[in-house]
């Protein structure tokens, strides 16, 4: 089923939302790069699940939310979003800062989540190494660190190949500004999150690219240790964007995991 675009009002904030597929609900929270639209992996997962892919407040064409300060604000916002949508229980998948948001949300209200998928999430301070400072690099240089090998990315041309128009440039600027607003200090982690994660008993799949140059793989191991029912799967020859870099493998991983519900 092709996706449809909706605008949902949560409090005073209008949020753009892509909804597609069929089956039990899967809420997908995007990373700092913004909502990349209805992607190949979503189409595959959408054959079995209804995918809800909102654009975070302050990102893309969703309303601004300059009052937000942190990722746990965003997590609380999505709890409200679920109320508005009438979704009492969902599978939850988040990538990068969306993964961090998903983890925070799970610690706040684990009962609203069925299964949890965390893809290269930020949120924890690495035991070794550092989370790369994504705001310190020009976008084109950052992309080199983000994707391991562009030649293996099926949707590369569509996502990154063309010269961006004015609307895309403005959207990318908004995305970066809102990401900075939410993650600046401490940079990309919440020192309290590790203390709350053991509350989350939900079955959890953690996915990481072996070659991730944004968030060190050791963070995946830390999440796995702290979450009582978590499995870590590492994709070879893959960087920080597993759903984009290895869409088919990624979709199958997610489907296998969700089907065990």
Give me the residues that bind another protein (CB under 8 A), please: 135-138, 173, 176-177, 180-181, 184-185, 187
Question: Nearest distance from residue 144's CB to another protein, in Å?
Answer: 14
Nearer to another protein, 97 or 102 (CB): 97
* Residues 115, 227 contacting (CB under 8 angstroms): no
Question: Nearest distance from residue 30's CB to another protein, in Å?
Answer: 18
Nearer to another protein, 53 or 182 (CB): 182
Q: Where does the chain have alpha helices with state H?
A: 40-46, 71-85, 97-108, 139-146, 156, 166-183, 193-196, 217-226, 242-245, 247-259
Question: Nearest distance from residue 86's CB to another protein, in Å?
Answer: 33
Number of H helices, E strands in the chain: 10, 8
Question: Nearest distance from residue 177's CB to another protein, in Å?
Answer: 4
Cα–Cα distance measured from residue 182 to residue 186, given in angstroms and rounded to the nearest whole number: 10
Nearer to another protein, 137 or 156 (CB): 137
Cα–Cα distance measured from residue 75 to residue 107, given in angstroms and rounded to the nearest whole number: 10
**Token pair listed for 135:** 């705001």
Nearer to another protein, 181 or 233 (CB): 181
């Amino acid at each position: 089923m092709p996706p449809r675009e909706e605008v949902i009002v949560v409090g005073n904030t209008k949020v753009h939302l892509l909804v597609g597929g069929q089956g039990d609900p899967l809420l997908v929270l995007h990373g700092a790069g913004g909502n990349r639209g209805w992607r190949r992996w979503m189409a595959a997962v959408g054959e079995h699940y209804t995918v809800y892919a909102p654009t975070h407040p302050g990102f893309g064409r969703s309303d601004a939310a300059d009052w937000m300060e942190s990722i746990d604000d965003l997590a609380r916002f999505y709890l409200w979003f679920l109320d508005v949508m009438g979704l009492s229980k969902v599978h939850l998948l988040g990538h990068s800062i969306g993964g961090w948001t998903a983890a925070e949300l799970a610690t706040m209200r684990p009962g609203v989540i069925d299964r949890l998928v965390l893809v290269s999430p930020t949120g924890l301070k690495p035991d070794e190494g550092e989370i790369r400072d994504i705001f310190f690099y020009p976008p084109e240089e950052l992309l080199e660190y983000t994707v391991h090998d562009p030649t293996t990315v099926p949707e590369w041309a569509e996502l990154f190949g063309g010269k961006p128009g004015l609307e895309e440039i403005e959207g990318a600027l908004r995305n970066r500004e809102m990401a900075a607003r939410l993650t600046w200090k401490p940079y990309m982690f919440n020192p309290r999150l590790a203390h709350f994660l053991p509350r989350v008993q939900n079955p959890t799949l953690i996915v990481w690219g072996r070659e991730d140059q944004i968030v060190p793989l050791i963070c995946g191991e830390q999440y796995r240790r702290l979450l009582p029912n978590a499995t870590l799967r590492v994709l070879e020859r893959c960087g920080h964007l597993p759903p984009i870099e290895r869409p088919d493998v990624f979709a199958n991983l997610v489907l296998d995991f969700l089907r065990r519900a």
